[in-house]
Amino acid sequence: MLNLLRSTFRNILRDRLLIFLLAAGVILAFYTPAPLREYPHWIDWPTITTLLGLLLLTKSVEVSGYFDWLGRKIIARLNSERTLALFMIGASALLSTFLTNDVALFIVVPLTITLKKLSALPVTRLIIFEALAVNVGSLLTPIGNPQNILLWNHSGLSFGSFIWQMLPLAGVLICVLLLVTLLCFPAKTIRPLVSHADNHCQRRLLIACVLLYVLFLISVDVGVPYWGLLAVFATLLWLAPKVILMVDWALILIFIAMFIDVKLFTQLPVLLPLTESMQHLSTAGVYASGILLSQLISNVPATIMLLGFIPASITLAYAVNIGGFGFALGSMANLIALRMANEKRIWLKFHLFSIPALAISAALGWLLL
């Protein structure tokens, strides 16, 4: 346990993205008048609590051996790379429409990583496509991602009306994504690797995780995520205390730093004239601002910022959802997927697919408006 604790601290101290965000925060702090005591109020603690709870539960399911068991079942039935890719990408898009993009990734990415241990599958590419898929699927519904929840609450549209306005964009993008999937994943047979088939599944831990997952999501839904997280912590301290140290704590700190950095960035005096001019933006201006701002500060903060000046129109909805493509910072879901993959080269490979995805989506979105 002591070695695991040391490893956790070592990983936090060596995390380059975290170091970059902390350095950026220090620099930005010199140019903004806000006192240090206000910084904790800028952090969306319910979001941090939700993220931590999901990380704990996902890691617990992984430790239970459930993903290994499920991975073998999938490979036994879907033994073609192309078929498996279409299944995982389609499942990612579908789950994100009603579980949100982040929750969908917490289900499919650990399972995909498990497939790497069982077969010679290009999981790096598959995780990249799953990240793109949850961005596509989640844009369809008002509850698919945080920015849509904000837009839905401000728009006054019914649940069905919101889906209807987003349906053309979602339909076109999912068709493009599946077409690209057919081109990027060959129809060759997956070669299973030699593995220990008698991998024991910790049933008690698995059952506890399933029950806690339901309890935790209910606690988040009714607005008391802290009690749900407390229940998760208490149960894991009893059943599997090492899981608490195995969680990617650097990712939690990264999100905390991002909230502070984004707030400091939006308070820069040089940006005040720019924010005031947003009230007079044309349709094209709103569209471009939503996409570009998402690339700079992520699409959820961009939505919050823009809703302070312009109405929750279909143009804004298209823009901030499309803004989830491009740079990894465009969507929190991108960061979660890439961090969970735990592979350095995936960051470069992600942008080789995601930046063209942004260009194509932006062009198609504008044509559909």
In the chain, % of residues over pLDDT 70: 93
73 CB-near residues (< 8 Å, 6+ apart): none
Of 211, 250, 252, give the one whose Cα is nearest residue 61: 211
* Structure-token match 């996902």, residue found: 58
First-to-last C-alpha distance (Å) of the chain: 56
Give one DSSP letter per residue of 83-152, joined into a string.
Answer: HHHHHHHHHHHHHHHHH-HHHHHHHHHHHHHHHHHHB---HHHHHHHHHHHHHHHHTSSTTSSHHHHHHH
Q: Which two tokens stand for residue 98?
A: 């009603």
Q: By C-alpha distance, which of 293, 265, 263 is closest to 278?
A: 293
Q: How far is CA 171 from the centre of its chain?
A: 21
Which residue, among 130, 109, 135, 129, has the nearest Cα to 180 in the 3D structure? 129
Q: Which residue has the tokens 């999912």?
A: 174
- pLDDT digit string, tens, across residues 253-292: 888 888 888 788 878 887 767 666 676 788 899 999 999 9
Task: Provide the Cα torsion 141, 146, 150, 155; round to 10°.
Answer: -20
Residue with tokens 């924010």: 275
Is residue 32 helix, strand or coil? Answer: coil
Mean pLDDT of 191-212: 73
Task: Return the bridge partners of 80, or none.
Answer: 189
Tokens at residue 4, please? Answer: 């695991």
Predicted confidence (pLDDT) per residue in 134-178, tens digit:
999 999 988 788 888 788 878 888 888 999 999 999 999 999 999
* Tokens, residue 69: 């068991």
Give 150's strand partners: none
Structure tokens at 139: 């844009």
Signed CA dihedral, 98, 51, 72, 126: sign only: positive
| Res. 367: pLDDT tops 90 | yes
Token readout for 248 is 């990617």
- Cβ neighbors of 127 (< 8 A, separation 6 or more) are 109, 112, 113, 337, 338, 340, 341, 346
Q: Is the dihedral of CA 104, 107, 109, 111 positive or negative?
A: negative
Exposure of 6 by Cβ count < 10 A (0-12 exposed, 13-18 middle, 19+ buried)?
A: exposed
What's the token pair of residue 164? 């209807």
Digit-coded pLDDT (tens) for 283-326: 899 999 999 999 988 898 888 888 878 888 999 999 999 999 99
Highest mean pLDDT among 19-28, 101-110, 169-178, 236-245: 169-178
* Mean pLDDT estimate for the chain: 85
Tell me the average pLDDT across 345-366: 95
Whether 350 contacts 128, CB under 8 Å: yes
Nearest to 166 by CA among 313, 329, 359, 357: 313
Residue type for 264, please? L
Where do the H-state alpha helices sit in 158-282? 159-184, 203-221, 225-239, 242-246, 249-266, 272-277
d(CA 105, CA 340): 9
Nearest to 158 by CA among 141, 139, 180, 182: 141
Q: Where are the domains of the chain?
A: 39-368
